């Protein structure tokens, strides 16, 4: 009884294979008595449709590709990012009866365009989810677009054509974080910018600016430093900021790694967090709750985003278009131990 085929079922149920196919695919126009006969035959034979045959006949692969920046390319891989991404995508795929194919790749690689083209032509996924920061790399996006495969991007920084995407409102929530810091009494709130390649860096910075204004604070170039998203760059930036005569009482970094760097430097300089300095990050990576003091940050609903992205791409596959092609998933600030009231005296 290795594997029953559709014709075995048809024979047992006394109908044609087409009718079995109709039942299996939940197509209409099958008398309920017939449906029952077929269903019991399916149960009796433990029949499972053969995916390969189905794919061949229907010209679909039933595969969704999830493409993301390879975390193992880095010294200290931020694997939580990928896991969350996979989790959401897997949940959606399971629900919709698709298979998920993962494809980590390195965007520094010069041949990444060709690599992706090859991959897509060989595997022929029905749809593709492209995660940040790859969703920001034009040659990556273009290579995928050129294959004609439905594509949904996650957190693409810049807008690009009418390509469907799923993102968070970095601007609004960064402003919220800034206002939160201001509400704690901080007047000198510094900002560490991130690597221009990653995420919606610009939006975070603009949110910071807006938050200052909304809190009646003046923007000062003195309080803004560049970083590149690494812990090390956070340390460098912190050293610069904290060695000023009138140092900031709060530092808001565009990602958690840089915020962790800030905390490390403050510790070395003997500056107490949060008593003398409040530190806030962005992304809520696992590290955020592992360091001491635990980091106040902005959560990044990655799983929710990838789940929505999969739903969107499936909608595109099935209907040929996407109703909401610019989904915004809400994010919020997560208050932990690294932020507190501004110190009394400066």
- SS3 at position 326: strand
Tell me whether residue 15 or residue 131 sits nearer to DNA (CB atom): 15
Tell me whether residue 60 or residue 206 sits nearer to DNA (CB atom): 60
CB atoms within 10 A of CB 277: 28
34 binds DNA (CB under 7 A): yes
**Binding stretches for a copy of itself (CB under 8 A):** 46, 48, 50-53, 55-56, 61, 70-72, 76-77, 79-80, 82-84, 86-87, 90, 99-102, 104, 121-124, 264, 286-287, 289-292, 303
CB of 20 to DNA, least distance (A): 7
339 binds DNA (CB under 7 A): no
Q: How many CA atoms lie within 13 A of 173 on its CB side?
A: 23
Contact 24, 89 (CB under 8 A): no
40 binds DNA (CB under 7 A): no
62 binds DNA (CB under 7 A): no
Contacts with DNA in 2-21 (CB under 7 A)?
A: 3, 5-7, 14-19, 21
- SS3 at position 285: coil
Tell me whether residue 27 or residue 121 sits nearer to a copy of itself (CB atom): 121
CB of 252 to a copy of itself, least distance (A): 21
Q: Radius of gyration (Cα) for the chain, nearest Å?
A: 26
Q: Which of 43, 48, 214, 324 binds DNA (CB under 7 A)?
A: 48
Contact 207, 173 (CB under 8 A): yes
Which of DNA, a copy of itself, none sits in contact with 24, Cβ below 5 to 8 A by type?
DNA
Name the H helices within 30-126.
32-45, 51-58, 79-96, 112-123
Give the interface segment with DNA, choosing from 57-65, 150-158, 270-278, 318-326 (CB under 7 A): 57-65
CB of 194 to a copy of itself, least distance (A): 19
Size, binding site for DNA by CB under 7 A: 30
Which of a copy of itself, DNA, none sits in contact with 77, Cβ below 5 to 8 A by type?
a copy of itself
E-strand stretches of the chain: 63-69, 99-105, 127-130, 151-154, 165-167, 189-192, 224-225, 250-253, 278-280, 297-298, 326-328, 333-334
Q: Extract the tokens encoding 61.
A: 């692969």
Q: Which of 36, 44, 58, 214 binds DNA (CB under 7 A)?
A: 58
CB of 42 to a copy of itself, least distance (A): 13
Which residues does residue 326 pair with via DSSP β-bridges, in sequence order?
165
Q: How large is the greatest C-alpha to C-alpha distance in the chain, in angstroms? A: 89
Q: What angle do CA 239, 69, 146 make, to 5 degrees?
A: 130
C-alpha separations of 213 from 3, 35, 179, 201, 206 in Å: 68, 65, 9, 19, 11
CB of 126 to a copy of itself, least distance (A): 12
CB of 52 to DNA, least distance (A): 7
98 binds DNA (CB under 7 A): no
Kindly list the residues in this chain that would bind DNA in the complex (CB under 7 A). Answer: 3, 5-7, 14-19, 21-22, 24-25, 28-31, 33-34, 47-50, 53-54, 56-59
């Amino acid at each position: 009884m290795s594997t029953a085929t559709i014709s075995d079922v048809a024979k047992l149920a006394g109908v044609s294979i087409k009718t079995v196919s109709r039942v299996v695919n939940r197509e209409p126009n099958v008398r309920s008595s017939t449906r029952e006969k077929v269903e019991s035959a399916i149960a009796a034979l433990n029949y499972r449709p053969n995916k390969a045959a189905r794919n061949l006949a229907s010209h679909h692969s039933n595969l969704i590709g999830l493409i993301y920046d390879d975390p193992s390319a880095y010294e200290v891989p931020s694997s939580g990012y990928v896991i969350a991404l996979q989790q959401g995508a897997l949940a959606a795929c399971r629900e919709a009866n698709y298979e998920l194919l993962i494809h980590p790749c390195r965007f520094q690689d010069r041949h990444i365009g060709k690599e992706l083209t090859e991959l897509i032509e060989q595997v022929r996924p029905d749809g593709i989810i492209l995660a940040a920061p790859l969703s920001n790399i034009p040659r990556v996006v273009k290579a995928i677009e050129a294959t004609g495969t439905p594509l949904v991007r996650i957190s693409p920084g810049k807008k690009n054509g009418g390509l469907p995407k799923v993102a968070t409102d970095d601007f609004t929530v960064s402003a919220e974080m800034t206002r939160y810091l201001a509400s704690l009494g901080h007047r000198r709130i510094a900002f560490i910018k991130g690597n221009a390649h990653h995420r919606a860096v610009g939006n975070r910075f603009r949110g910071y600016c807006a938050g200052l204004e909304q809190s009646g604070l003046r923007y000062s170039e003195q309080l803004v430093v560049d970083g590149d998203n690494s812990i090390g760059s956070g340390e460098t930036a912190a050293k610069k900021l904290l060695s000023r005569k009138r140092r900031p009482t709060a530092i808001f970094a565009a990602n958690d790694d840089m915020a962790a760097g800030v905390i490390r430097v403050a510790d070395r300089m003997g500056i107490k967090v949060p008593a003398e300095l409040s530190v806030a990050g962005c992304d809520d990576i696992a590290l955020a709750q592992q360091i001491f003091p635990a980091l106040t940050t902005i959560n990044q609903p990655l799983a929710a985003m990838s789940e929505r992205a999969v739903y969107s791409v499936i909608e595109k596959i099935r209907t040929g278009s996407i109703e909401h092609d610019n989904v915004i998933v809400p994010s919020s600030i997560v208050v932990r131990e690294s932020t507190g009231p501004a110190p009394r005296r400066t």
